[in-house]
Amino acid sequence: MKLLIIRHADPDYSIDSLTPTGWQEAALLADRLCKMEIDAFYLSPLGRARDTASLTLQRLGRTARVLPWLREFEAPVHKPGAEGESIPWDWLPADWTAEPRYFDRHAWADTPVMAAGAVAEKYRQVTDGLDELLAQHGYRRQGELYQALRPNTDTVALFCHFGVECVLLSRLLNVSPMVLWHGACAAPASVTSLVTEERRPGVAYFRMGAFGDTGHLYAVGRQPSFSARFCEMYSLEDQRH
């Protein structure tokens, strides 16, 4: 089984849709996906993900199922030294790396900051939804692995968001989401691919073959949009700090 986790194209958050650049990215993404045999499509309920998927679905004459837990990961927290509430997956490196538990996939949500924001409960909602979906496609979670109840070579596409993508990957790869949230960056309209590996009968593990692939943009000479990234050097005034 192959999973395609697709981040929405360049967003216009003010209207929960896409920028003009985002619509162009979504069209190039559709060019790529329409050449693949995809057996099922699942969408975040948010407009920017649904709009990104719409061009592919229209061209293929397909429909998709909306899954509430694929929406962007939202569990507001009060970060030390910051005013008000904010998302739990965007911290300054010096702040989150100072807490060893954030590197531990079993303990990352047990810190006072995360506990006060009920982050673990939100995390479980997403991972429970993922496990249920995979079970419907023949792979049932058992411990750290998956039982291959109905092994198959189906391809399943999930259109969602960077924050929740890292939650999905943390479950599939058994790592702390904090490491993925802060150590990886999936550009808009990018495709992350995982394939089951069944080296013993009935026992499967998802192995990531590509993360945040934007080859469909580079193929036509386009650079990925900057959304979700921060400055490469602090002296670069035109980049986010």
pLDDT in tens, 130-159: 999 999 999 999 999 999 999 999 999 999
pLDDT of amino acid 20: 97
222: tokens are 């386009």
- Determine if the pTM surpasses 0.85: yes
pLDDT of amino acid 137: 98
Residue ranges of the chain whose pLDDT lies below 70: none
Instruction: State whether residue 83 is helix, strand or coil.
Output: coil
Query: Are 169 and 6 a contacting pair, CB within 8 Å?
Result: no
Nearest Cα residue to 240 out of 14, 12, 232, 212: 232
Phi, psi at 78, each rounded to 5°: -100, 105
d(CA 15, CA 12): 6
Query: Are 211 and 186 a contacting pair, CB within 8 Å?
Result: yes
Sign of CA dihedral 50, 55, 58, 61: negative
Nearest Cα residue to 145 out of 196, 107, 180, 104: 196
Q: What one-letter code names the amino acid at 157?
A: A
Q: Which residues contact 120 (CB under 8 A, 6 or more apart)?
A: 109, 110, 114
